[in-house]
């Protein structure tokens, strides 16, 4: 529904946005998950143009998450085949 709305709107930049999931919370809030970061960044850029049509009186709230990685050596290469094993062994006390 939401991605169809974006495609059919007059906002050309939103026409290609791929919505992965739309979920309605018990309080009536709607969560829109996109397939890519680029798509997620496009939605708020044109908020004032589409929000008043789709949901008058609504507001947009974005969530972000912080990732903390402890005890990672400075020479750590996340692309190495052993990266997962190294992370697990160096942080076993925290991850259990």
| CB 22 within 8 Å of CB 30 | yes
User: pLDDT exceeding 90 applies to what percent of the chain?
Assistant: 0
* pLDDT computed for residue 87 by the predictor: 81
Residues whose CB is less than 8 angstroms from the CB of residue 31 and which lie 6 or more positions away in sequence, other chains included: 21, 22, 23, 24, 25
* pLDDT computed for residue 31 by the predictor: 81
**Distance, CA of 36 to CA of 18 (rounded, Å):** 8
pLDDT digits (tens, 9 = 90+) for 29-61: 778 888 888 888 888 887 777 777 777 777 777
Total-model pTM: 0.47
Position 85 pLDDT exceeds 80: yes
Indicate the pLDDT class of residue 73, thresholds 50, 70 and 90.
low
Q: Which of 92, 46, 41 is nearest to 62 (CA)?
A: 41
For the chain, domain boundaries: 2-54, 66-96
């Amino acid at each position: 529904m939401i991605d169809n709305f974006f495609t059919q709107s007059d906002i050309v930049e939103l026409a290609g946005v791929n919505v992965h999931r739309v979920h309605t919370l018990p309080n009536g809030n709607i969560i829109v998950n996109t397939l890519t970061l680029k798509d997620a960044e496009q939605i708020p850029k044109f908020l004032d143009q589409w929000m008043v049509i789709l949901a008058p009186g609504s507001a947009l709230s974005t969530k972000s998450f912080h990732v903390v990685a402890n005890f990672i050596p400075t020479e750590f290469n996340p692309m190495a085949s052993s990266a997962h094993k190294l992370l697990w062994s160096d942080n076993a006390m925290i991850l259990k």
